[in-house]
Amino acid sequence: MNAVTTRDVRARKGGTPLVCLTAYTAPVARLLDPHVDLLLVGDSVGMVVYGLETTLAVSLDTMVAHGAAVVRSSERACVVVDLPFGTYQESPEQAFRSAARVLAESGCHAVKLEGGREMAETVAFLTARGIPVLGHVGLQPQAVHTQGGFRAQGRSQEAAEAIMADARAIADAGAFAIVVEGVVESVAAEITEEVAVPTIGIGASARCDGQILVTDDLVGLSPSSPSFVHRYAEIGGTIDDAAARYARDVRERAFPGEGNVYKARQAAGGAG
């Protein structure tokens, strides 16, 4: 199969919905790659893999390392890496330096950044210099403190109009697609109708041009999941059961068994 490019993603506006998931490691990327159009190496790695309370402490080094692992282990999906908090908000020039490093060192296809109208100039600056950008409006985890926590956005008319304006600004600035997170369903659907680039929903609307979820939520590795997640598997329970059976076998000296140990070679010999 041919690799999915950012141009391919953009061309899917109004077509077959885009399938997107997060990936932070090589084994998971290898498993997901045949099934998805886009793999996002999100700064959610800080919460999912490192146990942080928010994404704010994630570094550029961390994103580069995880991005490179995912790129090495995928062949088909378009791989996008998040720019973490504090690496792009200061100026378009700072954003360019950060994005250029991520693309060069990880080999990914594009970067993602959060923000609306205030980031439009930065998105235009990056895209004009050959860096594809995936936008992100609505609930923005990097702005968790100013948005009052992880809560749905766009409930009031004023808030809905602000998110609409953000999406328009990012699309007009040159983003090839926009993640719409935690937005009231009707607002997400309206954004999808209005902007010329694909919308990728998470806790938004089935009418978006695609969907994305955190893979650990999808497969039941997270201790709890947001209400908008459908858990397609419960891998956490499988791992717990395997660890329990392993512990039992070790304590009972049933493991390792005869097939799990190395034997000394028989010495060659014979009658002299």
Its sign, for the CA torsion 34, 64, 55, 88, is negative
Domain annotation covers residue 129: yes
238 within some domain: no
Nearest-angstrom CA–CA distance, 126 and 175: 9
pLDDT of residue 80: 98
CA–CA–CA angle 39, 113, 117 (5° rounding): 135
The reply to whether 112 sits in an annotated binding site is yes
Domain of 13: which CATH number?
3.20.20.60
Domain around 50: 6-218
Phi, psi of 17 (to 5 degrees): -55, 140
In terms of residues, how long is the chain? Answer: 272
* Predicted pLDDT of residue 272: 53
Please check if 241 is assigned to a binding site.
no
pLDDT given at position 143? 77
Chunked into runs of 10 residues, the chain (272 residues) has average pLDDT values of 93 98 98 98 97 94 98 98 97 98 98 97 98 96 68 82 97 98 95 98 96 97 89 96 98 96 80 56
Can you give the pLDDT at residue 266?
A: 82
240 lies in some domain: no
Which residue's entry shows tokens 């650990």? 216
Residue 141: the pLDDT is 79
State residue 195's pLDDT score: 98
Distances (CA, A) of 201 to 116, 161, 184: 16, 18, 11
Q: Which two tokens stand for residue 118?
A: 């205030």
Q: How many angstroms separate the CA atoms of 233 and 119, rounded?
A: 37
Does 236 fall in a domain?
A: no
Look at the chain and report how many structural domains it folds into.
1
Distance CA 116, CA 81 (A): 18
CA 139 to chain centre: 15
Strands (E), 124-215: 133-138, 177-181, 199-202, 210-213
Specify the pLDDT at position 145: 59
Q: Which residues are catalytic?
A: 181
What is the spatial distance between Cα 188 and Cα 167, in angstroms, rounded to a whole number? 10
Establish whether 44 is an annotated binding residue.
yes
pTM, rounded to two decimals? 0.93
Instruction: Report pLDDT for 1.
Output: 63
Identify whether 251 is part of a domain: no
On whether residue 265 sits in a domain, the answer given is: no
267 domain-assigned: no
Q: Bridge-partner residues for 210, per DSSP?
A: 18, 200
Annotated ligand binding at 209? The verdict is no
